[in-house]
């Protein structure tokens, strides 16, 4: 029991001390990986998307967090507005490894000529593992901590999100770990802490080659009383991001995360299908003395089979086709009249020609 209390204390301190390594993973390139924050993003694009993501946080810090992510999501062709998705995440931080799998259902509707609205819900399972065999026990006689066993806990989790978006504007609201379910480690217990996110951005076209995209993300995390901070606390954090892109092929950007880090980002788009992005975070908090920064690599593949046009272009295309079709339908009608008229004229000439000799016959007599 003494060992269990130490493990519970260790887990509690780990949960409370991590703003950047909280129960939800941290991503600097959140715009390329926004499905990880908001299930309503699934189906926002008219094609299927796949992400492979890796983050190595606080390089040089012993047992620092590492995150691995794979996701696949997109719209259903046979069900208008419906989208499905799936995601697998593995987080390693200290003695704790968290493996999570989610399945997503999303639905999108058109609210105006330029805007669409999406709603998404994800459900899945979190599996926690604590490696007791790596514990450095201060009490040499504690056989529990000196053993080669592990602690395991499974908990059901759910996320929900809303997403308003268009060609230039996007706004997302989401809640992760929203069920606040208990995590049971034999005798001690913990809870999933709800995380709340708000993301907003706008695409500004500077000229035919360059575009600018400012965006901001707000993260809100209420810390429970039993997390080791005494009374209940609240944590809010802002991410400011600015990206400059050239011909939708190459982009550079910068990010500022309040009380945590500043970042630089670079990305390239290959054949409009494959996006490769890298970011580097430089810590500005007290932990900067113990690490040399954080690295992120993101691969995003879009399953585009044909040229994708905007909603406005699609409407104009439909209108243009309808006009062309109506004109096409009218042309045969006008063309059919001429042969009929020619045919009737020919018939009248044929009937008139035999009448002439009959009229001339009395003159001959």
Instruction: Of 205, 213, 202, 167, give the one whose Cα is nearest residue 311.
Output: 167
**Yes or no: domain 2-308 corresponds to CATH 1.10.3720.10:** no
| Model pLDDT, residue 349 | 45
Neighbouring-strand partners of residue 342: none
pLDDT digits (tens, 9 = 90+) for 212-240: 999 999 999 887 665 555 555 568 899 99
Beta strands in the chain (DSSP E): 48-56, 66-75, 82-93, 96-110, 115-131, 150-166, 169-176, 182-184, 189-191, 195-202, 204-205, 210-223, 233-246, 250-257, 261-270, 274-283, 294-303
134, burial (CB in 10 Å: exposed 0-12, middle 13-18, buried 19+) = exposed
Distance from C-alpha of 86 to C-alpha of 74, rounded to nearest angstrom: 10
Render pLDDT for 36-76 as a digit per residue (tens, 0 to 9).
999 999 999 999 999 999 999 999 888 899 999 999 999 99
Low-confidence ranges of the chain (pLDDT < 70): 1-22, 133-148, 186-189, 224-234, 306-365
- The per-residue pLDDT for 16 is 36
Q: Where are the domains of the chain?
A: 2-308, 309-365
């Amino acid at each position: 029991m003494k060992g269990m209390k130490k493990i519970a204390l260790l887990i509690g301190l780990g949960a409370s001390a991590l703003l950047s390594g909280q129960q939800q993973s941290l991503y600097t390139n959140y715009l390329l990986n926004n499905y990880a924050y908001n299930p309503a993003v699934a189906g926002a694009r008219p094609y299927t998307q796949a992400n492979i993501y890796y983050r190595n946080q606080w390089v040089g810090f012993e047992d620092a967090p590492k995150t691995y992510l794979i996701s696949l999501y997109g719209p259903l062709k046979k069900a208008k507005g419906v989208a499905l998705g799936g995601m697998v995440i593995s987080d390693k931080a200290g003695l704790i490894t968290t493996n999570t799998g989610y399945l997503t259902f999303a639905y999108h509707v058109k609210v105006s000529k330029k805007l669409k609205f999406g709603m998404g819900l994800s459900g899945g399972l979190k599996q926690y593992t604590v490696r007791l065999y790596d514990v450095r026990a201060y009490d040499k006689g504690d056989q529990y901590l000196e053993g080669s066993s592990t602690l395991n806990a499974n908990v059901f989790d759910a996320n929900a999100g809303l997403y308003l978006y268009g060609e230039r504007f996007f706004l997302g609201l989401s809640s992760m770990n929203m069920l606040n379910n208990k995590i049971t480690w034999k005798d001690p217990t913990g809870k999933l802490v709800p995380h709340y996110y708000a993301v907003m951005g706008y695409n500004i076209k500077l000229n035919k080659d360059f575009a600018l995209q400012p965006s901001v993300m707000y993260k809100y995390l209420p810390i429970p009383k039993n997390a080791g901070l005494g009374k209940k606390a609240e944590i809010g954090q802002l991410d400011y991001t600015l990206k400059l892109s050239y011909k939708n092929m190459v982009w550079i950007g910068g990010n500022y995360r309040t009380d945590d880090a500043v970042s630089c980002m670079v990305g390239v788009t290959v054949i409009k299908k494959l996006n490769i992005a890298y970011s580097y975070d430089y810590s500005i908090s007290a932990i900067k003395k113990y690490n040399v920064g954080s690295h992120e690599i993101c691969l995003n593949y879009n399953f585009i089979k044909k040229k994708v046009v905007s909603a406005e272009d699609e409407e104009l295309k439909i209108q243009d086709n309808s006009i062309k079709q109506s004109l096409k339908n009218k042309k045969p009608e006008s063309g059919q009249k001429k042969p009929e008229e020619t045919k009737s004229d020919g018939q009248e000439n044929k009937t008139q020609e035999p009448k002439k000799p009959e009229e001339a016959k009395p003159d001959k007599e």
